[in-house]
Structure 1
Amino acid sequence: MSSPIRSIVYTALFSALFIVMSAIKLPLGFSPVPITLQNLALMLAGAFLGARYGFLSILFVCILTTLGLPLLGGQGGLAVVFGPTGGFIWMFPLCALVVGYFTRKVFASPAIGRSKQLRLAVLFVVFMVFGSLLSYVGGVPWLAHAANLSIGKAMTVGMFPFLPGDLIKSVVAAIVTSALYAYMPSLHSTRSVAPAAQANHKAR
């Protein structure tokens, strides 16, 4: 399979993963924001596809959702992307992009690669900060605007209850990425990263 076609196929696969994980949701009676696995999907998309294709895989779903396809939790259309959770949706592609950028930096760093524990810890920080907390930068203010809430109240119903789950998803993403990254060089568009990751794995 040629590289451009392979990139398109993997991008589509992670778009599908994002859609599937969006369908797994737990509504909370006190909040318009449900618990989902969306940010876990975008963490993995950014980690394995890299910044550009991770960004595109999530952006593609967001665009199709805007056009009316029911791809995010079985819903679609302008009412979804401009609804109370719209700020989170807009931030998801950016989160995938930044996660992808910093994940490559982690695996390209010889200093971090020498220690499995250090690599896991740094990956956890990358996923938690850029795959989770970054989404609240756009999500909370928009929730406050769309639901006519104060910023403090928006954080109470749209951020704080989700942080424990975000911690768990960041741990899962770090473990999965650390374990599988070296075995999936065909997903890496940067040639120098995969061999470095493989060497780090062999050194363990």
Structure 2
Amino acid sequence: MAKWTIRGLVFSALFAAITGALSYLKITLPFSPVPITFSTFGIMLAGSILGARYGFLSMLLVVILEVAGIPLLEGIPGVARIYGPTGGFLLAYPVAALLIGLFVERIKPNRWLFGKLSIVNFLFGSLFLYPSGVAWLAHIYHFSLAKALAAGFWPFLPGDILKSLLCAAITVAVWRVYPVERVSG
């Protein structure tokens, strides 16, 4: 069993804070109760750079702090966050970071690295969040599936693609500095 390191724990807290700060960069959509935020970019970075264990821990910390009432993310903190329009997305954060980390830890650096990282981040940092997020949105607002997808899925895809590409570029740059053990070592 791998040991937890102080370095990994500190980076987990740092990435939780980064995700919180990124959530304040938002675009409110007039037709949706869910704003476009950069918090998904924080999830992608945490999983890609920290790996599965520490990425999961950082996003679990985000969820715990939010539920505890500490306003880490933009909006209303506390248990109300879980019952609000973004609750389904928020609860998937730790698992998304875990899945990104699991796949990224198995990627061997080569000339296709950027493309592989982009795909993994898009699949698990974005698309993975939507089933629980859209389902919860449909449930609390009594939306049809089509309306829930229109309010909580389709408008977000172009930005998610761009965030995935940017995260891949940052991850490649970080891996150049930490080529073998990366941050989670």
TM over 0.5: yes
Relative to structure 1, is the Cα distance of residues 186 and 134 closer, same or farther in structure 2, using a 3 angstrom cutoff? closer
Relative to structure 1, is the Cα distance of residues 62 and 23 closer, same or farther in structure 2, using a 3 angstrom cutoff? same
Whole-Å Cα distance in 2 between the matches of residues 137 and 31 of structure 1? 16
- Equivalent position amino acid for 2:103 in 1: F
Deviations 1:28-48 (A, max 9, x none): 111001010011011011111
Q: Secondary structure at the match of 2:106?
A: helix
- Please tell me whether residue 114 in structure 1 is matched to residue 110 in structure 2: yes
- Please tell me whether residue 135 in structure 1 is matched to residue 136 in structure 2: no
Give me the identity figure in percent.
Answer: 44
Report the equivalent of 1:175.
Answer: 169
Q: Secondary structure at the match of 2:92?
A: helix
Cα displacement (A) at 1:74: 4.2
Report the equivalent of 1:159.
Answer: 153
Cα displacement (A) at 1:8: 1.3
Report the equivalent of 2:47.
Answer: 46
Q: Secondary structure at the match of 1:33?
A: coil
Report the equivalent of 2:65.
Answer: 64
Whole-Å Cα distance in 2 between the matches of residues 179 and 105 of structure 1? 18
Relative to structure 1, is the Cα distance of residues 181 and 114 closer, same or farther in structure 2, using a 3 angstrom cutoff? closer
Q: Secondary structure at the match of 2:34?
A: strand
Cα displacement (A) at 1:84: 1.3
Residue-pair matches, total? 181
> Which structure has more helix as a fraction of its residues?
1
Deviations 1:119-141 (A, max 9, x none): 11111110100110000011010
Cα displacement (A) at 1:152: 1.3
Whole-Å Cα distance in 2 between the matches of residues 31 and 123 of structure 1? 30
Whole-Å Cα distance in 2 between the matches of residues 16 and 157 of structure 1? 27
Report the equivalent of 2:94.
Answer: 93
Consecutive unaligned residues of structure 2, counting only runs of 5 or more, are none
Cα displacement (A) at 1:82: 1.4
Q: Runs of at least 4 residues of structure 1 off by over 6 A?
A: none
Deviations 1:86-122 (A, max 9, x none): 000011111101001111111xx3xxx331xx11111
Whole-Å Cα distance in 2 between the matches of residues 180 and 50 of structure 1? 12
TM norm structure 1? 0.85
Question: Larger radius of gyration, structure 1 or 2?
Answer: 1
Cα displacement (A) at 1:78: 1.4
Whether the aligned pair in 2 keeps the contact of 1:58 and 1:93 (CA below 8 Å) is yes
